[in-house]
Amino acid sequence: MSAKFEADARVRVNCTVNGKRHTGYAEPRTQLCDFLRHELHLYGTHVGCEHGVCGACTITLDGRLARSCMTYAVQAEGAEIGTVEGLSEPGTLNPLQRAFSDHGALQCGFCTAGILISTTYFLADNPMPSEQEVREMLSGHLCRCTGYEGMVRAILSVAGGGS
């Protein structure tokens, strides 16, 4: 998909987030993370570095993982987006989220949304990962609170019954 916009254009963006239709306005340069948060008011996606290293802003865009800080909002026109808000029904936690809590996989929780999204995507592709594979997957994310040990345990506990 390619489109041309004036630099200061105000572009209407239609997309589906977590199965729900959303419409908002963005400039061509508006980052998708800012659009999700401040235009669609979906604050669950967090922004940690704005240069694609920390992974906090990770979402799915048309079924693939994306750093929403490295994606423009206008690229999401017509797209299906998945964020942390869509991982479980309101008032409930899914097994991965519960495992994160049980294993102390989060502390401040700021990096957690992106990690849950990456892990969900990863496990769909590789339901029986080794610990090394889990660690390598997690290496696309920075967490400064936990030391990652709880995350690794949590992910292995839901992956094919653990190892």
The span from the CA of 55 to the CA of 10, in Å, is 28
Q: Is 27 in the site for other proteins (CB under 8 A)?
A: yes
> What one-character DSSP code corresponds to residue 35?
I
Distance of CA 64 to the CA centre of its chain: 10
Q: Nearest approach, Cβ of 12 to other proteins (angstroms)?
A: 18
Instruction: Select the residue interacting with other proteins from 13, 17, 40, 56 (CB under 8 A).
Output: 56
Q: Nearest approach, Cβ of 152 to other proteins (angstroms)?
A: 6
* Structure-token pair, residue 38: 């401040």
The span from the CA of 22 to the CA of 106, in Å, is 30
Identify whether the C-beta of residue 107 lies closer than 8 Å to the C-beta of residue 146. Answer: yes
Q: Is 42 in the site for other proteins (CB under 8 A)?
A: yes
The span from the CA of 163 to the CA of 161, in Å, is 7
Q: Is 5 in the site for other proteins (CB under 8 A)?
A: no
The span from the CA of 154 to the CA of 96, in Å, is 7
How many Cβ atoms sit within 10 Å of the Cβ of residue 149?
11
* Structure-token pair, residue 5: 């916009």
Binding part of the chain for other proteins, among 9-17, 72-80, 93-101, 120-128 by CB under 8 A, reads 93-101
Q: Is 67 in the site for other proteins (CB under 8 A)?
A: no
Q: Is 45 in the site for other proteins (CB under 8 A)?
A: yes
Instruction: Select the residue interacting with other proteins from 5, 9, 16, 47 (CB under 8 A).
Output: 47
Nearer to other proteins, 15 or 48 (CB): 48
Q: Is 159 in the site for other proteins (CB under 8 A)?
A: no
Binding site for other proteins (CB under 8 A): 27, 29-30, 37, 42-51, 53-54, 56, 83-85, 87-88, 90, 93, 97, 100-102, 104, 106-113, 116, 134-136, 138-152
